[in-house]
């Protein structure tokens, strides 16, 4: 890029401007754009918080089957693209697994859900962490430890303390 050319950058642009050859610098209008669809903002958090609150209320009022039905409907609507939601299917699946763990006699259903999460999202530590917590609660310490090791490996730095706490370290 030539000195004095309007596209000149950095020190060259400053030198050209001092000589009166370049227009004043324009404001940089480039922004990092978030992809459309799955934004994590106030609206998305509110939608998921409502779903979490509903399922928690149903579980607390001894209606876990209804909670699972609500989560299943939310998952199906997301899969079909019928619902404009900013939360993701993995979040619904993890919440479904949590409901199953709180529902007496449904740990095997929770394990199936967590296995599906791990299979569909092997890069996400949350499935490994949830399955590890369930296995630890069931007394399967060796299997739980393997899940926690994988969760620690995949977890971002900001989540490592939570993983360690759940693992009992």
For residue 35, tell me if it sits in a domain.
no
Q: What is the pLDDT along the chain (169 residues), one digit of tens a residue?
A: 444 444 445 555 455 545 555 444 444 433 333 333 333 333 456 788 888 999 999 999 999 999 999 999 888 888 887 666 656 889 999 999 999 999 999 999 999 999 999 999 999 999 999 999 999 999 999 999 999 999 999 999 999 999 999 999 8
Domain that holds residue 101: 40-106
Question: Is there a contact between 70 and 55 (Cβ–Cβ < 8 Å)?
Answer: yes
Do 97 and 50 lie in one domain? The reply is yes
Where in 45-129 does DSSP place strands (E)?
none
93 CB contacts (<8 Å, ≥6 apart)?
75, 113, 116, 117, 120
Q: Are residues 50 and 99 in the same domain?
A: yes
Number of domains forming the structure of the chain:
2
pTM for this model (two decimals)? 0.68
Contact 11, 18 (CB under 8 A): no
């Amino acid at each position: 890029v030539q000195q004095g050319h309007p596209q000149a950058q950095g020190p060259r642009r400053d030198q050209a401007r001092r000589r009166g050859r370049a227009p004043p610098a324009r404001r940089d209008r480039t922004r990092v754009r978030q992809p459309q669809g799955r934004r994590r903002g106030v609206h998305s958090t509110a939608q998921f918080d409502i779903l979490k609150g509903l399922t928690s209320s149903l579980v607390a009022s001894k209606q876990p089957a209804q909670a699972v039905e609500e989560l299943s409907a939310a998952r199906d609507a997301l899969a079909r693209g019928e619902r404009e939601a900013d939360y993701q299917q993995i979040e619904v699946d993890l919440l479904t697994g949590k409901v199953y763990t709180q529902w007496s006699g449904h740990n095997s259903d929770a394990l199936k859900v967590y296995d599906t999460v791990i299979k569909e999202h092997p890069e996400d530590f949350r499935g490994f962490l949830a399955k590890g917590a369930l296995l630890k609660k069931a007394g399967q310490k060796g299997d739980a430890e393997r899940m926690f090791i994988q969760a620690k490996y995949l977890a971002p730095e900001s989540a490592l303390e939570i993983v360690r706490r759940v693992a009992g370290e």
